[in-house]
Structure formats: structure tokens, C-alpha cells
Amino acid sequence: MTFPVLKLARSILTAIAAVAAVSISPSAAFEMLGSMRLFGYGERASLGVADFPKWTRMLERYARERALETMPCRQGACALQRWHAHVESLKGRSANEQLRAIDAYVNRARFVHDSINYGIADHWATPRELFARGGDCEDYAITKYLSLKRLGWDMENVRVVVSMDTRRRELHAILAAKSGGTIWILDNLLSEPADHRKVAQYRPIFSINEHAWWLHTRPGAPTLVSEDERDLLQRASCKTTSDFVFALERYMMFEEVGPY
């Protein structure tokens, strides 16, 4: 990254608002589209996800790779097929059983930072990539998302969420799934799904599914920004440094919670 820390923090926040300003029209912005109000925050919905190429490219790769899930294993590499069989075995179970089983299974995948895995700062992985190479926070959330989709969930109630973890001072991706009037958080850092009302450390930045994305808001958040910095929004996953997080928290007026 070539920006000074504070400038980059401002750039990501301004990018968020830039996407909101450009993408959210009076006809497209509404609160009832799969409304969640994660962790008590407000949200603004925008239809379409073309402004998130890491997400859309991952979905395209997944569509090409799906046939591999039912093909014979190659050279003993059966992780993808085992995941597929596990998901299929959960059909007909209750929603809570499915959430717990998917969360526990995917969380067993090996954690590897993208900088080590792919030699780049950020890569949004398919299930095949996660189980073959390991992955980081958004990769766990993505595979859980696609697991629930295969189980027939209403995907308007399921999102990948990029948030600020105020305790770890880190940007972090999780999965949010709404079932039975409760929003459940599936997180590779938690031992089991948790009611979002009992998870105090996360402050959502944006969330996304295959049809829409949501900008999460709080009083005092910046709104006037430069449109050409919108691509910086996608840097907000789980790749950062303590100095960057400090600058981002200060700019967003987050309270400091806990040590580094």
C-alpha cells in the first residue's frame, strides 16, 4: 500500500460512501430488502453487485467448479467431495442443526493469509480453493454462504459481512444468516453460531449476497466522497495492520476496546 495510514483509512470510508452515492437510487434504496439491522446498525440496500469484482469473480469460478464436487477424487484429494457429501447429508435437518454443522465443518479448514497463499493482499476463494489450500476470514464465510445455498436457504436472509472487530483491532469477515427471527453469526473465530445481539465486538461496514449489498451506517459517518476511490472498499476484509486499524477506528469514531 502506498497511501499513508490515515489517508488510506479515509479512502476506504470515502469509497464506501462513494459506492452508496453512485449505486443507491431512490428506486433501489430501501430497507426491506432482506433487512437485518446487524448488531443494531442501520443499513441502506442497493441492488446489483457489479462493483464488487472479487465477489463476482469468485462466484463465476464457483459456477465452473461445481461439477468437480461429484467427480471421483484425484490423487487422493477428496476434500471438496467430502464437503459436498457433508452438505448433502444435512438436507432435511432443522435450520439450527444445519447452521451448527456447516459452521463447525468449515471452521476446520486451515487458516492461511492470502499474502502467503496467493502472493497478493486479498483473494476471495471458492470452496475448492479453501479446502485445497486453506484460506482466511472471508473464505470461511464464502464457503458457509454457498453451503447454505446448496441446502435451499432463502439467500435474501444470508450475507457475507465485512466488519470491524473492535477487540482485536482488525477488519474481519463473517457470515450472517437469519432464521426464526434471529440473525445468527457464523465466524471462524467463534466455536458455534451466535445470536448477533450477543456479539458485541463487531461493527459492520458492508454486507453482500448475490443480488444486493448493504452499507451499514451509524450517526456521524462520512457521506461526501470521491467516486473514483470506490475500489478501495474491497480492501476491508481481514488484511490490515495495527496502525491502519487505529487510523480507521479514529476516523469512524469507533471506541477503542481492549488491547492490540
In a domain, 82, yes or no: yes
Please count the structural domains in the chain.
1
Please give the full DSSP string across 68-124, using - where no structure is assigned.
Answer: GGGSPPBTTB-HHHHHHHHHHHTTTS-HHHHHHHHHHHHHTSPB--HHHHTSSS---
In a domain, 257, yes or no: no
Q: How far is CA 124 from CA 20, 107, 140, 235, 239, in A?
A: 22, 16, 10, 11, 12
In a domain, 214, yes or no: yes
Q: How far apart are CA 48 and CA 46, in angstroms?
A: 6
In a domain, 123, yes or no: yes
In a domain, 50, yes or no: yes
pLDDT in tens, 34-75: 688 899 888 888 889 988 999 999 999 999 999 999 999 887
Pairing of strands 158-165, 212-217: unpaired
In a domain, 146, yes or no: yes
pLDDT tier, 236 (very low <50, low <70, confident <90, very high otherwise): low
Q: Which residues contact 196 (CB under 8 A, 6 or more apart)?
A: 38, 39, 176, 182, 183, 184, 185
Question: Residue 92 pLDDT > 70, yes or no?
Answer: yes
In a domain, 260, yes or no: no
Predicted local distance difference test score (pLDDT) of residue 97: 98
By percentage, how much of the chain surpasses pLDDT 70? Answer: 70
pLDDT tier, 151 (very low <50, low <70, confident <90, very high otherwise): very high
Domain range holding 169? 5-252
CB atoms within 10 A of CB 244: 22
The CATH number that applies at residue 153 is 3.10.620.30
In a domain, 258, yes or no: no
